[in-house]
């Protein structure tokens, strides 16, 4: 019996490729956006800024413009045949509010292209997986500090975009919380967003068969416990193949957070690797979602069966 179809890989970028920058979530600092555009131009890309990227919502200060405008920017960029990739400017909050306004049928007809983001963009990674069956990239965003200033983050994303075969083995230097090896398809993102997606229209039924990547920012230990407990109680973690833990930037000190992660995840009976170097931490690695891979928790490596992009 054959398994489910593998997600579609978008085509890698080449010099001169046109990339659209959108803001699905929070307000974007103009100075950092301009710095990010300079980085993209330095990569011989042709960046275009969606019309509402620098908008501010009239009453909800945490949103980059209205839900309708943020959705229109993403959909227009995705459906523009001259655009090869869509890069999110930043996270924050708001992707869930606009995801239901997207015309997923039209976006599916437009065909695959590269999509990059993390943090609040987790909600869109899930939607792109369930609605479009597409490989996406959990990586630095165009107006993010890492994207603008950190060489490791820049180099790993650039290699993934232009020469994905060169980063088929992601060596993080991570350490085993639960040793062992596991095979599965990569997925995940920001823990609190995955918990918030439960029961939503774009949520996958479970992480079964997956190598689940988890990270978060600014959360206290009991809130991390609550999110993991919610996923456990919902059965969402049943059958997960392995877990990769990224950064826990601005959360409680890790020596207080680690026992929570071990308590909630150690009973799954699968390999768990910590400090894998993706997420909100400095120098974050780009992790493709939707790619079959092997996790070696002892070695701290993730070996992709095929390059993230075709």
SS (H, E, C) the chain: CCCCCCCECCCCCCCCCEEEEECCCCCCCHHHHHHHHHHHHHCCCEEEECCCCCCCCCCCCCCCCCHHHHHHHHHHHHHCCCCCEEEECCCCCCHHHHHCCCCHHHHHHCCCCEEEECHHHHHHHHHHHHHHCECEEECCCCCCHHHHHCHHHHHHHHHHHHCHHHHCEEECCCEEEECCEEEEEEEEEEHHHHHHHCCCCCCCCCCCCEEEEEEEECCCHHHHHHHHHHHHHCCCCCCCCEEEEEEEECCCCHHHHHHHHHHHHHHHCCCEEECCCCCCCCCCCCEEECCEEEEECCCCEEEECCCCCC
Structure confidence at residue 6 (pLDDT): 82
Structure confidence at residue 4 (pLDDT): 56
Structure confidence at residue 1 (pLDDT): 36
d(CA 298, CA 190): 23
Residues annotated as catalytic are 119, 215, 280
Structure confidence at residue 2 (pLDDT): 44
Q: Partners of 178 in the beta sheet?
A: 272
Residuewise pLDDT in 10s, the chain (310 residues): 344 568 899 999 999 999 999 999 999 999 999 999 999 999 999 999 999 999 999 999 999 999 999 999 999 999 999 999 999 999 999 999 999 999 999 999 999 999 999 999 999 999 999 999 999 999 999 999 999 999 999 999 999 999 999 999 999 889 999 999 999 999 999 999 999 999 999 999 999 999 999 999 999 999 999 999 999 999 999 999 999 999 999 999 999 999 999 999 999 999 999 999 999 999 999 999 999 999 999 999 999 999 999 9
Whether pTM > 0.75 for this model: the answer is yes
Structure confidence at residue 235 (pLDDT): 97
Structure confidence at residue 180 (pLDDT): 98
Structure confidence at residue 173 (pLDDT): 83
């Amino acid at each position: 019996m054959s398994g489910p179809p593998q997600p579609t890989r978008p085509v890698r970028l080449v010099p001169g490729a046109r990339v659209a920058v959108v803001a699905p979530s929070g307000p974007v600092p103009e100075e950092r956006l301009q710095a990010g555009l300079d980085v993209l131009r330095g990569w011989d890309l042709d960046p275009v800024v969606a019309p509402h990227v620098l908008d501010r919502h009239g009453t909800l200060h945490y949103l980059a413009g209205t839900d309708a405008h943020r959705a229109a920017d993403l959909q227009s960029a995705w459906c523009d045949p001259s655009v090869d990739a869509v890069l999110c400017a930043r996270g924050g909050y708001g992707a869930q509010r606009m995801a239901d306004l997207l015309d997923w049928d039209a976006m599916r007809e437009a065909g695959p292209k590269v999509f990059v983001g993390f943090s609040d963009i987790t909600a869109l990674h899930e939607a792109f997986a369930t609605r479009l069956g597409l490989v996406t990239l959990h990586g630095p965003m165009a107006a993010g500090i890492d994207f603008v200033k950190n060489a490791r983050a820049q180099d790993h994303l650039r290699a993934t975009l232009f020469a994905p075969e060169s980063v088929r083995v992601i060596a993080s230097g991570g350490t085993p919380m639960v040793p062992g090896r596991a095979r599965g398809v990569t997925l995940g993102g920001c823990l609190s967003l995955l918990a918030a997606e439960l029961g939503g229209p774009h949520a996958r039924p479970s992480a079964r068969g997956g190598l689940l990547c988890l990270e978060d920012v600014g959360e206290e230990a009991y809130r991390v416990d609550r999110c993991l407990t919610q996923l456990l109680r919902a059965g969402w973690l049943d059958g997960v193949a392995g877990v990769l833990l990224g950064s826990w930037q601005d959360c409680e000190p890790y020596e207080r957070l680690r026992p929570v992660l071990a308590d909630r995840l150690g009973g799954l009976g699968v390999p768990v690797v910590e400090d894998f170097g993706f997420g909100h931490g400095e120098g974050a690695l780009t992790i493709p979602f939707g790619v079959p891979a092997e996790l070696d928790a002892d070695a701290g490596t993730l070996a992709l069966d095929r390059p993230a992009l075709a």
